[in-house]
Amino acid sequence: MTIVNLEHLAGRRVLSQRGKSIGYIEEIRAEPDGDDFVVTEFHVGVYAAFERLSASAIGVAVLDLFGLRRRGGLYRIPWDKLDISNPARPRLLCPMTELPGMKSAPDLPE
């Protein structure tokens, strides 16, 4: 088990397996596990930033207005698909094609 302080990950650039930047960690999702919390996924990209700043349909409407939800580079990365052993350089452990896009998030309006 890897233990990392969240403040060391938030805002970090995420690299693909090939070393290309895919965006910045904008949000870290966690669930309670007894007395602790366990990270379930990382949200990376422009839409993730809007999601963090605006928990309403207005933020989604703004993204749709500018077509940002339909662009690439908006990812939900499951906890086990991101190597955080070096928190300064988080790196994907899978091809980008395996990552779900933000617009498929079940709790967000389409």
Of 9-18, 74-83, 96-105, least confident by mean pLDDT is 96-105
Residues with Cβ within 8 Å of residue 65, at least 6 apart in sequence: none
Helix residue ranges, H only, 2-76 = 46-53, 57-65
Is the pLDDT at 18 greater than 50? The verdict is yes
List, for residues 32-85, the tens digit of each pLDDT value. Answer: 999 988 899 998 876 665 555 555 566 666 666 666 554 455 788 999 999 999
- Backbone φ and ψ for 77, nearest 5 degrees, come out as -110, 115
pLDDT of residue 56: 53
Q: Give the H or E element holding residue 13.
A: strand 13-15
Higher pLDDT, 12 or 109: 12
Residue 86's pLDDT band, with cuts at 50, 70 and 90, is very high
Class of domain 6-104 as given by CATH? mainly beta
Its pTM surpasses 0.75: no
Compute the mean pLDDT over every residue in the chain, rounded to the nearest whole number. 78
